Structure 1
Amino acid sequence: MTMPAVEHLAILPILLPLAVGAFMLLFDERRRLFKMSLSLATVLALLAVAITLFVMVNTPSDERWSTMFVYPLGNWPPPFGIVLVVDRLAALMLLLTAVLGSATLLFAMARWHNAGPRFYTLFLLLLMGLNGAFLTGDLFNLFVFFEILLAASYGLVLHGSGTARVRAGLHYIPINLIASSLFLIGVSLIYGVTGTLNMADLSRVVPTLAPQSRVLMEAGAAVLGIAFLVKAGMWPLSFWLPTTYAAACAPVAAMFAIMTKVGIYVIMRLFLLCFGDEAGASEDFGGLWLYYGGMATIAFGGIGVLASQSMQRLGGYAVLVSSGTLLAAIGTGNSAVISGALYYLATSTLAISAYFLLVELIERGQAAGADVLAVTLEIFGDPEEDIADEDEEVGVAIPATIAVLGGAFVACTALLAGLPPLSGFIAKFAMLSAVMNEAGDIDAAHWAFVALVVASGLATLIAMTRNGIRTLWMPAENEIPRVRAIEAIPIGALLFLCATMTVMGGPTMRYMESTAQILYWPSEYAREVLGTKPAGAAPAGQPATGGAP
């Protein structure tokens, strides 16, 4: 049976940014308008492809009855050949990446693309690495794409130069190089024991391992997990993250909002495939570590949010709160909690990305060190406040720019804190209600998870309200920032998508529930992937008409 032509779209999220990014290396940096136009066309094409794939996995056709399809590269059948797998989870992550890529690139075109060389090539290679990591069906190519996105991120972290970025890069680059080394060690152990790196094949092999082999397999999985927990930012492996995200330029920090989700995605995928309900003696291996580590990360992130004196660092700690919540949700082993976590993953990623872009505009009108000065005045007071009150203004007009930025900041606050009725509240409510409605008595650990999620939302609300009052309540010494439409539109689009997820909460939640249910059927995933035939392969008893040798 010949593969439908539309399914060749699965390779485009990898090939398109790779080809365009390499092509732009042929032109020097003076051709910025050409590179800008080509990059924008590329990310918009990626967005169209991601939307198409998202619709495809949600609407099975006559040729493809399942909600996933497999693309064998080189037309070699799995597990021997390389495969790309497009299921509901991969399609969701591709769509998130394309949305963030379009928004952040549009924002960067206002000024940040001029701050350093090869910005567009690095940006497209980052998109290629992210898309490949979400699409690949084997661990070896996951490592390849992981290295590509990391190599691109090294250049993007340093984009714009400056002491703060160099200092952050000196932490970020070595830590990720160590994580890459752990990745290789873990993959080597797993391959040595199982003889395969195909994820679907691993889910089939793990339940059949002998006890001696199982120990080595679990050791390899633990080492591999540490590599991705570094990327996900689980405490105590997260010390590099707030500093790096705070130092990066606004569009890069906004794009990095999904970088931590690569670690979350891989952990969710491998944990449920290899250590889920069908894993035999290895069932729920590492689940408690994810659960308690996730809760520790929530606590650490919440404290960091309250202690942050700058808005950028607050955003970095908000990323940790998001990662901790997702890791703890995965550790529960409850499909209903996972569905709420997927909803939370989407809305928190969009909101954090919008927040980083917004901070750039808000702080544009502030003097250097204004955040620290404001905190100092809050503690020790301002001696000029004792001047006679006759010169004090009664009522101050709020300029339109500040009103728009303030409205966007309030929306980000409500989303990240999980205030009703926005999508952040719906996601947290779905997770917490699933935890509370588990069969049997609710143990102390689950009560702790509920308390931490609520407390982290309160901490975020307090910290962001404090920052909003300091920066947006129109201090007289601050200038009104100059904001271009090309900078405001991406922020508005990201917040609009969060609002759409709120209005379309029912269909969105049903999609997440179906995604979570499929993740808990590793045998179905393995059957779909390993049962894939090369294009042109004939049914049993009939001669082949072509295809792989």
Structure 2
Amino acid sequence: MRSPVDHLVIAPILLPLAVGAFMLLLGERRRRIKMALSLGTVAALLVISMALVAIANTPVGDRWSSLIVYPLGNWPPPFGIVLVADRLSALMLLVTSILGCAALVFSLARWHRAGPRFYTLFLFLLTGLNGAFLTGDLFNLFVFFEILLAASYGLVLHGSGTARVRAGLHYIPINLVASSLFLVGVSLIYGVTGTLNMADVGRMVPALSSPSLVLFEIGAGILGVAFLVKAGMWPLSFWLPTTYAAASTPVAAMFAIMTKVGVYVILRLFLLAFGEEAGAAAGFGAEWLYFGGLATIVFGAIGVLASQSLQRLGGYSVLVSSGTLLAAIGTGNSAVISGALFYLVVSTLAICAYFLLVELVERGRQAGADVLAVSQEVFGDPDDEIEDEEDEVGVAIPATIAMLGGAFVACTVLLAGLPPLSGFIAKFAMLSALLNEAGSIKPDDWAFVILLMLSGFITLVAMSRSGIRALWVPSGDEIPRVRAIEILPIGALLFICVGLTILGGPAMRYMEATAQVLYWPQVYAQDVLGTGAPVRVPSEAAP
């Protein structure tokens, strides 16, 4: 008999899926009904995700947390489909819900009218994201991955415009290729292990023979490439800055969590399948993640410094964030990963706020004002092709520039990792974990330390330069016309980041406990597959 609380696990999937499907029956003229349904749905998702975080953070006996396993149809795992809500998945659900609320409220000013079926696509995107974070098997991970990608294809093109169509022509084929790689990798893993349940796969790896282990590693490598494309690791990230810069404002803000799907899956599967108990496969791919992450930080930092557009600067900031997280996973240090989880939350919220803020800052300026005259003459500015859907939005108020300037400074401090805000706490936690590691710090780790500090300095320089041009240099541009419904989501996101600064201690304890649980894959497997369940042996390894 399942308790009512257990059914909360499936609610983040069923709720947006059902409401989004229902809205397909409504015509485009019923915007008020769609608006009310969408707002109610994202508000409910926020409450549900907060409840799941509270449940996951509740100690059970001598355990640090509670884990909810929800077998669909009551078919026992690993044979049936299973949803799992633990500390990490509940945290990702909460971040997704916060971003969904902010982006949807911001879009109500005008973006919901820029194209058809916006609300339905938005809710389907939330369905795919929530399902990817909650699923416990690779097959349904693929299903939810495809749902979120299908919705993102429509959202990338939302608002039309030449630049968005051009970006979509890059974004869609690349993700279709990633989906194909996903299928190939999953097929190899299933062929070797005979299961798609993540916990079961992790339990089987130590029992694989050498030939089967090679095939398993090949499958895991192909699967990893599919998610590294989504995470934006260099050199697979060439599509990301252009796509994020061309997307409409609420879509770009929501896409801040899309790269974290790849990071989440890599973190989950890496520690389940290639942790310390994986035998000969332990640590497989760690060096690729580490050095690939470092290369992504370098590429993103160079792009941030070279960007002459506020939108492209945001896109490259996403790459810096992804590179930092991938390098942290590659260190194999649980203390570094706990700091990286804190950084994941802060950087995602800050980047979302930044994308929303950019439209308001750019609204009162002439198109291409960020681009140097020489660069405009030689190369042109692709962002100029994005048409403004309305000439005038909102009202001009005396404090507009002050509010936008203050928000821009807050985003700069958060993304650069400067004190006193939570971005500094996140970076300090990662640096202290590396520098205080038992024994002497490894030479490779110095590269991470240096790049982490250098990328913050470069972000500070680039954003200060862009902020001065946009807000502090006197010009003939008009004061931006801003609505309260547009500034409130930005303020709410920054307020949460400030709250994470004040409550940094409890937040870091949650992240530390999450990292510790991730490094206990055998406990996760027992909870998902059943306490005391015997270790299954692949047929090829059986006597």
TM superposition score normalised by structure 2:
0.93
CA distance in 2, matches of 1:38, 1:532: 41
For the Cα contact (< 8 Å) 2:230–2:261, is it kept in 1? yes
CA distance in 2, matches of 1:65, 1:487: 40
Following superposition of structure 1 onto structure 2, how do residues 327-476 of structure 1 map, counting pairs within 5 Å? 327-373=326-372, 399-476=398-475
How far does residue 475 in structure 1 lie from its aligned partner after superposition? 2.8
CA distance in 1, matches of 2:325, 2:90: 18
1:218 has 2:217 as partner:
yes
CA distance in 2, matches of 1:346, 1:532: 32
CA distance in 2, matches of 1:446, 1:320: 20
Amino acid at match of 1:293: G
1:229 aligns to what?
228
CA distance in 2, matches of 1:80, 1:175: 32
CA distance in 2, matches of 1:476, 1:258: 35
Task: Give CA deviations for 1:257-300 in whole Å, capped at 9, x if unaligned.
Answer: 00000000000000001001111100000000000000000000
1:97 aligns to what?
96
1:44 aligns to what?
43
2:168 aligns to what?
169
How far does residue 476 in structure 1 lie from its aligned partner after superposition? 2.4
For the Cα contact (< 8 Å) 2:293–2:325, is it kept in 1? yes
CA distance in 2, matches of 1:222, 1:470: 44
CA distance in 2, matches of 1:207, 1:79: 17
2:201 aligns to what?
202
Amino acid at match of 1:84: L
Following superposition of structure 1 onto structure 2, how do residues 8-157 of structure 1 map, counting pairs within 5 Å? 8-60=7-59, 66-157=65-156
Pair 497,418 (structure 1): closer, same or farther in 2 beyond 3 Å: same
How far does residue 69 in structure 1 lie from its aligned partner after superposition? 1.3
1:278 is paired with a residue whose SS is helix
CA distance in 2, matches of 1:152, 1:326: 25
CA distance in 2, matches of 1:527, 1:59: 18
For the Cα contact (< 8 Å) 1:310–1:372, is it kept in 2? yes
TM superposition score normalised by structure 1:
0.92
1:285 has 2:279 as partner:
no
CA distance in 2, matches of 1:373, 1:209: 58
Task: Give CA deviations for 1:344-370 in whole Å, capped at 9, x if unaligned.
Answer: 000000000000000010000011111
How far does residue 440 in structure 1 lie from its aligned partner after superposition? 2.0
User: Which runs of no fewer than 5 residues in structure 1 stay unpaired?
Assistant: 378-397, 534-549
Deviation above 3 Å: which 4+ runs of structure 1?
A: 373-377
Pair 320,65 (structure 1): closer, same or farther in 2 beyond 3 Å: closer
1:159 has 2:180 as partner:
no
CA distance in 1, matches of 2:513, 2:87: 8
2:371 is paired with a residue whose SS is helix
CA distance in 2, matches of 1:465, 1:325: 21
How far does residue 376 in structure 1 lie from its aligned partner after superposition? 6.4
Larger radius of gyration: 1
Task: Give CA deviations for 1:107-132 in whole Å, capped at 9, x if unaligned.
Answer: 00110000000000000000000000
What is the percentage of aligned positions where both structures have the same residue? 76
Amino acid at match of 2:304: V
1:541 aligns to what?
none
1:323 is paired with a residue whose SS is helix
1:262 aligns to what?
261
How far does residue 399 in structure 1 lie from its aligned partner after superposition? 3.8
How far does residue 437 in structure 1 lie from its aligned partner after superposition? 1.4
How far does residue 532 in structure 1 lie from its aligned partner after superposition? 7.0
For the Cα contact (< 8 Å) 1:78–1:532, is it kept in 2? no
How far does residue 445 in structure 1 lie from its aligned partner after superposition? 1.1
2:276 is paired with a residue whose SS is coil
Amino acid at match of 1:430: A
CA distance in 1, matches of 2:142, 2:13: 15
CA distance in 2, matches of 1:86, 1:477: 53
CA distance in 2, matches of 1:493, 1:157: 25
CA distance in 2, matches of 1:511, 1:471: 38
2:28 is paired with a residue whose SS is coil
CA distance in 1, matches of 2:470, 2:525: 53
1:481 is paired with a residue whose SS is coil
Amino acid at match of 1:519: L
1:70 is paired with a residue whose SS is strand
CA distance in 1, matches of 2:531, 2:36: 39
How far does residue 239 in structure 1 lie from its aligned partner after superposition? 0.1
User: Which runs of no fewer than 5 residues in structure 2 stay unpaired?
Assistant: 377-396, 533-543
How far does residue 374 in structure 1 lie from its aligned partner after superposition? 6.8
2:70 is paired with a residue whose SS is strand
How far does residue 477 in structure 1 lie from its aligned partner after superposition? 1.4
Pair 532,488 (structure 1): closer, same or farther in 2 beyond 3 Å: farther
For the Cα contact (< 8 Å) 2:155–2:251, is it kept in 1? yes
How far does residue 65 in structure 1 lie from its aligned partner after superposition? 8.8
For the Cα contact (< 8 Å) 1:309–1:375, is it kept in 2? no
